Structures are given as structure tokens and as C-alpha cells.
Amino acid sequence: LQQNDAVAEYADMRAGRLYLQYEGLNPSGSFKDNGMAAAFSHAKMVGAKSCACASTGNTSASVALYAHSCGLKCTVFIGSGRIAFGKLSQSMDYGAQTIQIRGDFDDCMRQVQDVCTKLGLYLLNSLNPFRLEGQKAIMYRIIEQMGWEVPDWIVVPGGNLGNSSAFGKAFYELKQLGLIKRIPRMAIINATGADTLTDLVNNKKLVWNDGRVNQAIIDDYYADLTARNFSPHTCASAIEISRPVNLKKCLRAIDICNGVVRAVTDVEICDAKAIIGKYGLGCE
């Protein structure tokens, strides 16, 4: 966890108030390793022999590394040209079989779920609850580094909504256990070219409602995406997702954290990435 006043100035924040959590020192260089450590522990416990995932980059690298370490066969599903190639090369280095399908990440996600069900493969996307349990460790480390003082806000990318779902659950449990006195607010950031959550929450008024989520709103929204043959497009390939599998869990996290959802343009994403890199942290 690194305080960064230069980036704070760029974001119109006071000095001493902005911290960046660096996850690049994980085994595969990805934050996904937090969830994989927990998920592969479960996979070994249940005797899994083969695993699979759909990926835009980070997941494939992390799954392949842990699969190799645990002695599992690994298959990665990727869409047509929509993957971070550096991460793909990692997964190939670790011995994963890669299958490219025609379509985007959402198409891959549907395919991998079907394959895992039919062939008995262990699914390692964030639909796997053990993945989310592992991702909670990121928040544990942040709070520990802050002396168990909770920040005012946590800002996290959207995408498949695994991180936001896990973080909300982490804070809820920490509060229930009496380890923290309050829960921080959460801001979930999407790209304007992949803004399903932004649209559903801010415009369609979709809410958690104590678990009674209005499924009709979701069904109608996805039906419209299908009718328009919509495919998300953003330079931030890791969040280029229009049908997030953790949508309802994320709604719960928004409720727990009194969260907000925002969308930013690719230009804003690239500008912010450049600023963070300029002032000391390489980021994707």
C-alpha cells in the first residue's frame, strides 16, 4: 500500500489522502492470485484433476500457474483477439491449453460453464465462490497496513464484479466480527464501452433489496443487448464484459458499502494509467 500525493493532486484530492494498493508482486504478477490460492486449495480438497476458465488475460495467467503448481490440467477459453497477449503468453508458458472461440468474453463465459458442467472440469472464474473468498485478502492487507483504520473510500474496477463483490463481503464480515467499527464506501468504475452495471444501477434503478433483486430488469436488459447484437468495447480489456456473472453479489456489496457506480471513457482510463505510471507504479 503506497501513499501517492502526486496522483492525489491529479485526482483533486488533498495530500496524504490517496493510497494505491500494488498487487504486482503476486506469483503471476496478478491480483487474481489471491482468489486462485483459495480456489485451488478447494480444487485439491475435492480431488479435481482438470480445470478451465474464460479469460481476457489476468485469469488465464493465474489459473495456469496454479494449475501447474497443483498438478491439474488447465484449459483457457479466450475470445477473438480480445486478450492481453502478455498474460496469454504466461498461461502458455505454464502449460495451459488455449482454445479461442468466435465471440467476446461473455460468449467464452457461457461456453466454459457448459464445458465444465458436461466434462466435470473445475471452473475457476469468479463465479466460483472460493475465488471470491480469496479475493477478500486484498482488503485484509490494506486495512492491516493502515493499522486497522478503515479508509473512507475503496475504488475498484468493475468488469465481472468479482472484486467488488468480495470486498463488500469482507467488510461486512469484519464489521460483524467487531474487527472494524465502520464500513468504507465503495466506488465501482466501468468503461463507457462496457457499462452494464452503471446503466442498471443508475438508470434502471436496480438494487439489492434484501436479496429480492428484480430479475425482470436484468432479463429485459440482457434481451436488449442480444437484440442489438451488442458487444462491449474498451481498451481496458479486463473489464470488457457486458454480462457480469457476479451482478447480484455486487448489488449486495453496493448496499453494504453505500456504494456508487460510475463509467469513464477510454481516454480518461489511459490518462489516469499514464499518471499512475509516471508517478511510480506500473499498472495495466
CATH number at residue 269: 3.40.50.1100
Residue 82 pLDDT grade (very low, low, confident, very high; cuts 50, 70, 90): low
Query: How many Å apart are CA 187 and CA 177, to the nearest integer?
Result: 24
Same domain, 154 and 248: yes
Same-domain pairing of 209 and 166? yes
Do 266 and 179 fall within a single domain? Answer: yes
| Number of structural domains found in the chain | 2
Per-residue confidence (pLDDT) for residue 67, from 0 to 100: 96
Per-residue model confidence (pLDDT) at position 81: 63
Sort strands 19-20 and 2-3 into parallel, antiparallel or unpaired: antiparallel
φ and ψ at 25, to 5 degrees? -95, 5
Q: What is the mean pLDDT of the chain?
A: 94
Last residue of a domain, one of 65, 100, 127: 127
Residues 192 and 100 in one domain: no
Q: At what angle do helices 85-93 and 58-70 cross, to 10 degrees?
A: 10
Residue 21 resides in a domain: no
Cα distance between residue 33 and residue 58, in whole Å = 9
The pTM score is: 0.93
Residue 188 has pLDDT above 70, yes or no: yes
Kindly give the interhelix angle for 247-257 and 162-176, rounded to the nearest 10 degrees: 40
Tens-place pLDDT, residues 214-238: 999 999 999 999 999 999 999 998 8
The confidence band for 263, taking pLDDT boundaries of 50, 70 and 90, is: very high
What number of H helices and E strands is found in the chain?
12, 9
The boundaries of the domain holding residue 165 are: 2-12+136-278
Query: Which of these three, 127, 158, 174, is where a domain ends?
Result: 127
Task: Clarify whether residues 117 and 212 are in a common domain.
Answer: no
